C-alpha cells in the first residue's frame, strides 16, 4: 500500500493551493494530527480472534437476536508483560479459544481470559509476550467535552500489520453510565469495541464498549452501534483496576442494599424503602424511611445522584453515607459495599390469602402442601390474625399487603409465631412457623395442581378496617359510573400508539382483577391476531377475574426499549379505571414481545409483578432483586424452538439471582404459543402471584 506514504504530500498540496477560497487548511492540519495520533497508538492495538462459542447471543429487546459475528475484534495492550484489555462483548458468545495478533509480531498468541470487570464490561486477557508497547493515558481531569476523539479498531482489515481503522468524533459527555464511561460521537461498533479512543495528541482517553444506563450485561447498548452514541471506559480507571483484575478475580458492582421509595429517580429526595437483609446497609443500620442526603461528602438531592455516587464502586469499596432520620442527621462512615451475589430468597409462609377482604388479618384460601404453614398446622379457612418474632409480642396487621411487608423484613429460615383463628370452633391458637424460601433453594418454582375457586370476599371497595379499630382510611376511590367492559380500543395520550383492553362483561369493581398486558410477536397486531388471542383467554378472564391489555408496537420490526413507557402507560390506564390487584400485574409476551416483557418487567418493578414470556430468552444478566417489589417469572418454549436452549439458560440465571421461576416446555413444538395445558398452568400461576 504505497498510498500511505503519499498522505503527507497530499496534505501539503492542500496547504499550498491558495486558489480555492475554501481550501481547508485547518482541516488538513487536523487530518495530519489525527493520523499522527493513530500512528502513535497503533502498535498497542491488537487483533483478537476466537474459535468456537455460540453463533447467536440471546436477543436484546431490540428484536432480532444479536448475532455474534465470526470476524476479528479489537483489544488494547495495557501492560508490557502481555496483558490486553478488551470489551466483554467480544467474548459474549463464550468462545473456546482466543488468539491475539500483535502488530509486528510474526506469530499469533494464544490468550487466556484472566478476569472480567462486570461493572464496566471489560475483559482482561494475558498472552505470553513481553516488552509490549503500552499507550499513555490521557489524565481524566484534562478531558474536556468537545475534544477530538478517534476510535481505533483492527477488524475491517484482516492484516494486523495494516494501520488500524479510524473513526473520528468528539467527546460528547463525561461520567455517563452512572459515572463510569466517557461518551463520544465517533462511530463505535463491533468494528472497534475493545479498541482505544485516542485524543488529538495520541493519548488514550479510554477503551470502547457497548453500554446503556438502563440495562446491564455484555450486549447492553449494542443497538446503539454507529449511531454517534458511543462509550469508553477511561484508561486511567482501567489502569487503577488492573492490579485487582490481574489477580484473576472478576470485579463486581458494589451494592449498598437499599431500594428507593419512588420509581422517579429525579423528583423526590432519595428515601430508603427497603433494606436488604445482611446487606452493607443492613449491617450499618440504615432503616426504611431514612433520607440519603450525602455520599462521600457530596450532597445528593435525588436518587439518581445516589446511583451516580455508587455507580463507579466495586464490591468491597468503602463509602460514607449521611442520612436524615426524622429530625436528626446520622453519618455511616466507611460502609463496605457488598456484591451482587448476596441475592436473597423471599421468606414465605406458603399460603394464598383470600382477597378483597376489609377485615384485619388474612383469611387462608390455600395452604401449599408441605409448605411451612402446612407443617406448622395452618389449615385452609383459618384466619391469621397476628404475627410476631419468637421474642416480643404478637402484633395484629391490617391485611395481605401489611403481612407481606412484615414478612419481607425477616429472612428465610427465621422462626416466627402466628396467631390463627380456626375455621371451625372459632378458637385461636398460636403456631410456630419456620419461614420457607422463595424460590426453593436453587430449583425452579412450581404451581399447585388445583386452586380453590373461592378467591375473594368481594369487598374491594369497602374501607379497610385498621387492627385495633383505628380510623379507617378512605376506600379506594372509584367513580360510580359503570366502567366500560368488553373489548375497548384506545390510543395512548400522545396518540403515538394504539392499544386494546378486554374487561369481562360481568366485571365487578368489588373484586380485584389480575391484569395481563399482552405484548404481541412481530407483526401480530392485526384484528384477527387479537381475536385469536382473546379466544384462548376469554373464558379464563371470566372465571379467574383477569383483565387483558394489548398495546401495539409501532415498528413492524418489533418492540423497542423506548416503548416500555407505552406499556406502562397502558397498565396504569387499567389500574386507574378498574379494580386491579397490584400484586398480580403481569406482562406477557411471545418472541420479540417476550423479550420486551422481560425488559419491561426488569425496568418497571414498581408496576410489574410477573413476567410470562414464551419463545423468548433474556438478553442480559438479570438485574438484582428489589425488596418490596417482588418479580416472578413464567418461562415457556417449544422444545423444538431454536431458542429453547437459551430460554432454559435464562431460567437458570434467574434462579441464580433468586427469582421464583416456573419453566415449561411444550413437547414436539417449535416457536409457537402455549398449549392448553401450559396456558392452564399460566393462569394458575397468575392466580397464585399473591402468595405469602
Residues 6+ apart with CB under 8 A from 503: 483, 484, 485, 486, 488, 547, 578
The Cα–Cα gap between 343 and 332 comes to 23
Instruction: Name which of 27 and 429 has its Cβ closer to another protein.
Output: 27
The Cα–Cα gap between 394 and 388 comes to 4
Residues 6+ apart with CB under 8 A from 472: 463, 464, 465, 466
Instruction: Name which of 203 and 584 has its Cβ closer to another protein.
Output: 203
Contacting another protein within 232-261 (CB under 8 A): 239-240, 242-243
CB of 496 to another protein, least distance (A): 8
Instruction: Name which of 560 and 611 has its Cβ closer to another protein.
Output: 560
Three-state DSSP at 179 gives helix
With binding defined as CB under 8 A, does residue 135 bind another protein? yes
30 C-beta neighbours (distance < 10 Å), count = 15
CB of 110 to another protein, least distance (A): 5
Binding-site member from 105, 140, 459, 490 for another protein (CB under 8 A): 490
Number of residues that bind another protein (CB under 8 A): 146
Phi then psi dihedrals of residue 414, to 5 deg: -60, 145
Contacting another protein within 1-60 (CB under 8 A): 1, 3-4, 6-7, 9-10, 14-15, 17-18, 20-36, 38, 40, 49-56
The Cα–Cα gap between 645 and 648 comes to 5
Q: Give Cα 619 distance to the centre of its chain.
A: 9
Contacting another protein within 276-305 (CB under 8 A): 301-302, 304-305
Instruction: Name which of 122 and 352 has its Cβ closer to another protein.
Output: 122
Contacting another protein within 212-231 (CB under 8 A): 212-214, 223-229
Report the sign of the C-alpha dihedral through residues 463, 464, 468, 471, in that order.
Answer: negative
Instruction: Name which of 97 and 428 has its Cβ closer to another protein.
Output: 97
Instruction: Name which of 6 and 341 has its Cβ closer to another protein.
Output: 6
The Cα–Cα gap between 633 and 599 comes to 12
Instruction: Give 320's DSSP letter.
Output: E
Instruction: Give 90's DSSP letter.
Output: G
Binding-site member from 45, 102, 129, 168 for another protein (CB under 8 A): 168
- Which range of residues in 160-168, 330-338, 343-351, 467-475 is near another protein by CB under 8 A? 160-168
Per this entry, what is the length of the chain?
692
With binding defined as CB under 8 A, does residue 461 bind another protein? no
Provide the H-helix boundaries in 498-612: 527-543, 564-577, 592-603
C-alpha cell at 594: 417476550
CB of 153 to another protein, least distance (A): 8
With binding defined as CB under 8 A, does residue 493 bind another protein? yes
Binding-site member from 43, 185, 324, 508 for another protein (CB under 8 A): 185
Q: Are the C-beta atoms of 468 and 369 separated by less than 8 Å?
A: no
Q: Are the C-beta atoms of 516 and 538 separated by less than 8 Å?
A: no
CB of 61 to another protein, least distance (A): 11
CB of 440 to another protein, least distance (A): 31
The Cα–Cα gap between 599 and 657 comes to 16
Give all strands (DSSP E) within 102-238, no chain letters: 109-117, 122-126, 148-153, 165-175, 181-184, 196-198, 204-209, 230-234
With binding defined as CB under 8 A, does residue 644 bind another protein? no
Tell me the CA end-to-end span of the chain in Å, nearest whole number.
71
The Cα–Cα gap between 423 and 426 comes to 6
Binding-site member from 113, 263, 409, 444 for another protein (CB under 8 A): 263
With binding defined as CB under 8 A, does residue 676 bind another protein? no
Instruction: Name which of 83 and 633 has its Cβ closer to another protein.
Output: 83
CB of 468 to another protein, least distance (A): 33
CB of 360 to another protein, least distance (A): 31
With binding defined as CB under 8 A, does residue 394 bind another protein? no
Instruction: Name which of 133 and 388 has its Cβ closer to another protein.
Output: 133
Instruction: Give 112's DSSP letter.
Output: E
Instruction: Name which of 539 and 557 has its Cβ closer to another protein.
Output: 557
Instruction: Name which of 432 and 527 has its Cβ closer to another protein.
Output: 527
DSSP string, 415-434: EEEEEEE-TTTT-EEEEEEE
- Which range of residues in 147-155, 285-293, 519-527, 538-546 is near another protein by CB under 8 A? 147-155
The Cα–Cα gap between 524 and 531 comes to 11
Contacting another protein within 595-634 (CB under 8 A): none
Binding-site member from 108, 324, 640, 671 for another protein (CB under 8 A): 108
With binding defined as CB under 8 A, does residue 175 bind another protein? yes
With binding defined as CB under 8 A, does residue 144 bind another protein? yes
Contacting another protein within 51-80 (CB under 8 A): 51-56, 62-63, 67-72, 78-80
With binding defined as CB under 8 A, does residue 167 bind another protein? yes
Contacting another protein within 323-382 (CB under 8 A): none
Residue 642: C-alpha distances to residues 55, 96, 637, 650 (Å): 12, 21, 9, 14
Residue 451: C-alpha distances to residues 97, 378, 400, 506, 596 (Å): 51, 16, 18, 22, 30
- Which range of residues in 144-152, 349-357, 467-475, 675-683 is near another protein by CB under 8 A? 144-152
With binding defined as CB under 8 A, does residue 203 bind another protein? yes
Contacting another protein within 542-581 (CB under 8 A): 555, 557-558, 560, 562, 565, 568-569, 572-573, 576-577
Closest by alpha carbon to 179, among 142, 241, 234, 116?
Answer: 234
Grid cell 413464567 — which residue?
634
CB of 591 to another protein, least distance (A): 15
Can you name the residues that pair with 171 across neighbouring β-strands? Answer: 184
Q: Are the C-beta atoms of 366 and 452 separated by less than 8 Å?
A: yes
Contacting another protein within 302-321 (CB under 8 A): 302, 304-305, 307-308
User: What is the bridge-based pairing of β-strands 346-348 and 436-438?
Assistant: antiparallel
Grid cell 457497548 — which residue?
210
With binding defined as CB under 8 A, does residue 267 bind another protein? yes
- Which range of residues in 279-287, 425-433, 484-492, 631-639 is near another protein by CB under 8 A? 484-492
Instruction: Name which of 112 and 623 has its Cβ closer to another protein.
Output: 112
Amino acid at each position: 500500500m504505497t498510498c500511505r506514504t503519499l498522505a503527507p504530500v497530499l496534505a501539503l498540496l492542500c496547504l499550498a493551493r491558495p486558489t480555492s477560497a475554501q481550501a481547508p487548511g485547518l482541516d488538513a492540519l487536523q487530518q495530519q494530527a489525527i493520523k499522527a495520533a493513530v500512528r502513535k497508538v497503533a502498535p498497542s492495538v491488537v487483533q483478537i480472534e476466537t474459535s468456537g462459542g455460540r453463533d447467536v447471543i440471546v436477543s436484546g429487546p431490540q428484536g432480532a437476536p444479536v448475532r455474534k459475528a465470526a470476524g476479528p475484534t479489537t483489544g488494547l495492550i495495557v501492560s508490557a508483560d502481555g496483558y490486553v484489555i478488551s470489551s466483554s462483548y467480544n467474548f459474549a458468545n463464550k468462545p473456546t479459544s482466543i488468539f491475539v495478533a500483535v502488530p509486528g509480531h510474526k506469530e499469533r498468541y494464544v490468550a487466556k481470559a484472566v478476569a472480567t470487570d462486570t461493572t464496566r464490561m471489560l475483559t482482561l486477557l494475558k498472552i505470553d509476550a513481553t516488552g509490549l508497547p503500552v499507550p499513555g493515558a490521557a489524565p481524566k481531569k484534562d478531558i474536556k467535552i468537545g475534544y477530538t476523539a478517534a476510535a481505533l479498531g483492527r477488524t475491517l482489515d484482516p492484516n494486523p500489520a495494516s494501520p488500524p481503522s479510524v473513526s473520528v468524533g468528539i467527546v460528547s459527555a463525561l461520567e455517563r453510565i452512572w459515572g463510569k464511561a466517557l461518551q463520544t460521537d465517533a462511530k463505535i461498533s463491533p468494528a472497534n469495541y475493545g479498541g482505544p479512543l485516542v485524543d488529538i495528541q495520541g493519548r488514550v482517553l479510554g477503551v470502547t464498549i457497548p453500554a446503556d444506563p438502563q440495562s446491564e450485561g455484555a450486549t447492553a447498548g449494542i443497538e446503539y452501534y454507529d449511531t454517534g452514541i458511543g462509550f469508553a471506559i477511561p484508561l486511567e480507571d482501567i489502569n487503577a483496576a488492573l492490579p485487582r483484575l490481574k489477580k484473576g478475580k472478576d470485579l463486581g458492582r458494589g451494592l449498598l442494599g437499599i431500594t428507593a421509595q419512588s420509581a422517579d429517580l429525579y423528583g423526590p429526595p432519595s428515601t430508603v424503602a427497603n433494606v436488604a437483609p445482611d446487606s452493607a446497609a443492613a449491617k450499618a443500620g440504615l432503616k426504611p424511611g431514612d433520607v440519603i442526603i450525602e455520599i462521600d461528602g457530596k450532597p445528593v438531592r435525588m436518587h439518581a445522584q445516589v446511583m451516580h455516587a455508587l455507580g463507579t464502586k466495586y464490591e468491597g469499596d468503602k463509602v460514607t453515607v449521611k442520612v436524615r432520620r426524622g429530625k436528626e442527621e446520622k453519618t455511616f462512615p466507611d460502609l463496605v459495599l457488598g456484591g451482587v451475589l448476596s441475592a436473597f430468597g423471599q421468606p414465605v409462609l406458603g399460603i394464598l390469602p383470600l382477597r378483597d377482604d376489609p377485615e384485619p388479618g388474612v383469611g387462608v384460601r390455600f395452604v401449599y402442601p408441605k409448605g411451612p404453614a402446612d407443617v406448622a398446622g395452618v389449615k385452609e379457612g383459618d384466619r391469621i390474625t397476628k404475627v410476631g418474632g419468637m421474642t416480643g409480642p404478637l402484633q395484629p396487621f391490617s391485611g395481605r399487603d401489611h403481612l407481606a411487608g412484615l414478612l419481607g423484613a425477616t429472612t428465610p429460615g427465621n422462626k416466627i409465631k402466628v396467631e390463627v383463628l380456626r375455621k371451625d370452633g372459632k378458637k385461636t391458637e398460636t403456631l410456630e412457623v419456620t419461614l420457607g424460601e422463595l424460590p426453593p433453594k436453587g430449583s425452579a418454582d412450581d404451581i399447585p395442581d388445583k386452586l380453590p375457586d373461592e378467591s375473594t370476599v368481594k369487598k374491594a371497595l369497602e374501607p379497610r378496617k385498621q387492627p385495633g379499630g383505628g380510623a379507617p382510611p378512605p376506600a379506594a376511590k372509584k367513580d360510580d359510573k359503570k366502567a366500560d367492559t368488553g373489548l375497548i380500543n384506545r390510543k395512548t395520550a400522545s396518540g403515538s400508539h394504539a392499544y386494546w383492553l378486554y374487561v369481562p362483561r360481568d366485571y365487578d369493581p368489588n373484586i380485584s382483577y389480575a391484569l395481563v398486558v399482552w405484548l404481541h410477536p412481530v407483526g401480530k397486531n392485526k384484528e384477527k391476531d387479537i381475536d385469536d388471542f382473546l379466544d384462548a383467554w376469554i373464558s379464563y378472564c371470566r372465571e379467574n377475574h383477569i383483565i387483558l391489555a394489548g398495546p401495539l408496537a409501532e415498528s413492524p420490526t418489533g418492540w423497542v426499549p423506548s416503548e416500555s413507557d407505552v406499556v406502562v402507560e397502558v397498565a396504569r390506564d387499567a389500574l386507574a379505571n378498574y379494580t386491579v390487584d397490584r400484586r398480580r400485574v403481569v406482562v406477557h409476551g411471545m418472541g420479540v414481545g417476550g423479550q420486551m416483557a422481560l425488559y419491561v418487567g426488569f425496568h418497571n418493578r414498581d408496576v410489574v409483578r410477573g413476567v410470562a414470556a414464551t419463545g423468548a430468552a433474556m438478553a442480559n444478566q438479570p438485574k438484582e432483586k428489589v425488596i418490596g417489589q417482588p418479580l416472578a417469572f413464567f418461562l415457556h418454549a417449544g422444545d423444538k424452538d431454536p431458542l429453547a436452549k437459551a430460554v432454559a439458560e435464562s431460567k437458570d440465571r434467574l434462579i441464580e439471582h433468586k427469582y421464583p421461576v416456573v419453566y415449561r416446555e411444550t413437547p414436539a413444538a417449535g416457536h409457537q404459543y402455549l398449549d392448553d395445558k401450559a396456558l392452564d398452568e399460566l393462569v394458575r400461576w397468575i392466580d397464585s402471584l399473591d402468595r405469602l
